[in-house]
Amino acid sequence: MTDRASDEVAPPADPAAAEASRAPDSPSEAAVLEPPPAPPGPDVAGLTHPVGVAGRSVALAFGLGAALVAWIQLTFQAKWVARFVIENDVASDARMLLLKSMGVGGAIAAAAAVAAIVWVRRRGGDARAVERWLWLCSPLVLLPAVPILFRWRAWKDRHAQLLPAVLVTALVFELFFHRALVEAPERARAAWRWLGARLRWRVLRHAPLVTVLLGSAGYGALTGFYTVRWHHKLQTHMFDLGINTHLLFASLHGKHMWSTLVFPKEPEKYLANHAKFGQYLLAPIFAVFPRAEVLLIAQCVMLGLGAIPLFLFARRRLPPWVAALVALGWLCWYPMHAANFYEVNYITMAGSLVLATVWAADAGRWIWFGILFFWTLVFREDMPIGLAIVGTVFWLSGRRPKLGLFMAVVSTLWFGFLRFHWMEEAGDWWFPSMYKGLWPPGETGFRSVLKTLLSNPYFVLDKIWERDKAWYLMHLLVPVAFLPARRWWAWAAFVPGTILTLLATDYRPLTMFTFQYVMHWAPYLFLATVLVLAALARDQGQARMRAGAAALVLATAATTYNLGVFPQRTETFKGGYFPIGFEYTEEERTRYRQLRELIALLPADASVAATENSGPHLVSRLYAFTMRNGPQTADWIVASSRELGLEKTRPTLKEAVSSGRFGVVERRGDFALFRRGHDTAGNAQLIADWKL
């Protein structure tokens, strides 16, 4: 996504920066610590009146003094803050102490402001100088929000209260931050220039890029470690990790888009479900290490790498450090963390490819563009929708119009052929029913959804405008301070996600922020964030852009602290439906070892059916089945008594064992290994122990 006007970079402040700015991908040294913008033009009539200056100064000073006292109390003394935020419940004396101390602190600060004004006036100075210093400090008025927003127990399971609080705080902070930059006194500007002049520019010029690279590597390492641990805790599932691991193994053995897990009787029908050609990008690594851990780590690494093309795209439009902040915002976006920990999904991995494709197209890196565009296009069947929107924006904005037209046409044609011909030829699947609320009477399928979209948009709008979907959008947009929504042309970023998630009427995970479908939004929202920040700089000045970036930082920090992966809190972090655990207990180590010992008894080419959480550890074989569908033609079964909760799993296992078709070969802890035709001497005891 791009915008023609947003391609223009604000004129550099000095000749050195002008020279450096000629290289679009090279940050200028001066831009690393660029001095704040010059003071605004002449005041509007009345703003310099002594009474007005004194009134604003006293008000600002009072607010700063009261805020400082409140911050001290809420941070260091108040053990009642969580209860106070949740229920407004605090002892009367504590509440009065807070109010009185805030009043005293504000009064002292206001008196100090009056004294400063009198002192300046007696020396023949301008009282506006006092007001400017107070405006410079004005963002500190929001200090009390810090111990409130960054106290996770106060917001646990209270997203509907947290998100509006973060959004309002971030927007107010943006206003104060902008005013602080605009009103900064000349002495503050001089001090900033003095600091910049004495720093070693050659060391700092690459610091933003290095920061992003370190953040990218750190994200991949941290999430890779914990997703593999989650897998070893036996918390991953046949759907989806087991399916994607088995698909990749089968493809390496000549069975393409072939899954006995999803279609046990017609495995070649999998293309009717999904077209995951992106698996072939991972095939070389998986061929060496054919285990589910490879996919888990690959997903984490790819998400971390997404920060790099996003930074390179942003750096062409924004100062390097602002571009770095946007890229770090990608790494801290908590809906992406949740998607990352929900199994392995090609939607999740594809987000970084979209960012890389847009960067290559925007920068004119044609070889990279060709490679990236191809892989993004074929990665999964729904990726062409986003690429078609990106191409349309390039085309209509006049930024790479020929390339944009090419992207839009190729993506649309490929999607039409793949979705409405190739996949439909492969067979039927239940996915179209997710949109059945949009089917005209007597019709079914995706074509009927398209008819409703084109013929009855107001009916469609009624299906989109629902309470749960509105909160879903809040989860997506609050961490980026609603920046993508601030320019009408940036709403193009909402189109892919709207089509692929908001239109759904009968599948709840599509509009839950803890599932992989948020990645239909992520790359486009962050690209739009870059363009909107650039537009703010162009239309309203660098100070306005920096204030928007400050709001982004605050909103991202507050939301990722409460809902993201980095604090590693099981109480607040979810992937899919499940709270994610970070500890690895001795019991869990023992269970994993027991499972691996049973798997070691299986022949390499054995056909195996398994229960839900054990399955992903043994599906690297051609014939693997899930016990929710029964053993099918499997010769072996691996099951756990803890994994019989699914509605169909317990009866299918009971039938297989009680009928005598399978006999118990080995038991380890809560696990058991069964073989078709084996001696059934141990079956009765297992049936009694497992209460089958």
Question: Per residue, what are the HEC states of 582-608?
Answer: CCCCHHHHHHHHHHHHHHCCCCCCCCE
Mean pLDDT for 144-160 is: 95
pLDDT tens, position by position, 24-40: 444 443 443 444 554 45
Instruction: Identify the pLDDT of residue 28.
Output: 42
pLDDT score, position 90: 87
pLDDT, greater one: 12 or 160: 160
For residue 514, what pLDDT is reported?
97
Residue type, 494: F
CB-based contact 518:476 (threshold 8 Å)? yes
Residue 43 pLDDT exceeds 90:
no
**pLDDT category of residue 21 using cuts at 50, 70 and 90:** very low
Backbone angles phi, psi at 672, to 5 degrees: -145, 145
Segment 361-366 shows an average pLDDT of: 97
Can you tell me the mean pLDDT for 386-409? 97
Q: Report residue 339 as tokens.
A: 């998607």
pLDDT score, position 197: 75
pLDDT, residue 9, reads: 36
What are residue 450's DSSP bridge partners?
A: none
pLDDT digits (tens, 9 = 90+) for 665-680: 999 999 999 999 999 9
pLDDT of the residue at 200: 63
For residue 312, give the amino acid letter.
L
Residue 10 pLDDT: 38
| Predicted local distance difference test score (pLDDT) of residue 202 | 59
pLDDT surpassing 60 at residue 22: no
Amino acid at 167: L
| Conformational region of residue 254, where left means phi above 0, alpha means psi within -120 to 50, and beta covers everything else | left
Task: Return the minimum-mean-pLDDT range out of 44-53, 270-279, 554-563.
Answer: 44-53
Gyration radius of the chain over CA positions: 29
- Express each pLDDT in 553-608 by its tens digit: 999 999 999 999 999 999 999 999 999 999 999 999 999 999 999 999 999 999 99
pLDDT value at 630 more than 60: yes
pLDDT per position as a tens digit, 281-304? 999 999 999 999 999 999 999 999
Q: Alpha carbon 85 to chain centroid distance?
A: 27
- Structure confidence by residue, pLDDT tens digits, 215-265: 999 999 999 999 999 999 999 999 999 999 999 999 999 999 999 999 999
User: Is residue 530 scored above 70 in pLDDT?
Assistant: yes
| Distance between CA atoms of residues 560 and 580, nearest Å | 15
At residue 449, the pLDDT reads: 87
What the block records as the tokens of 315 is 């750096």
Q: What percent of the chain has pLDDT over 70?
A: 93
Whole-model pTM: value is 0.92
Measured between alpha carbons, how far is 511 from 261 in angstroms, rounded to an integer? 26
Tell me what the pLDDT averaged over the chain comes to.
Answer: 91
Higher per-residue confidence, 3 vs 607: 607
What does the block give as tokens for 279? 């698996």
pLDDT bracket for residue 433 (50, 70, 90): confident
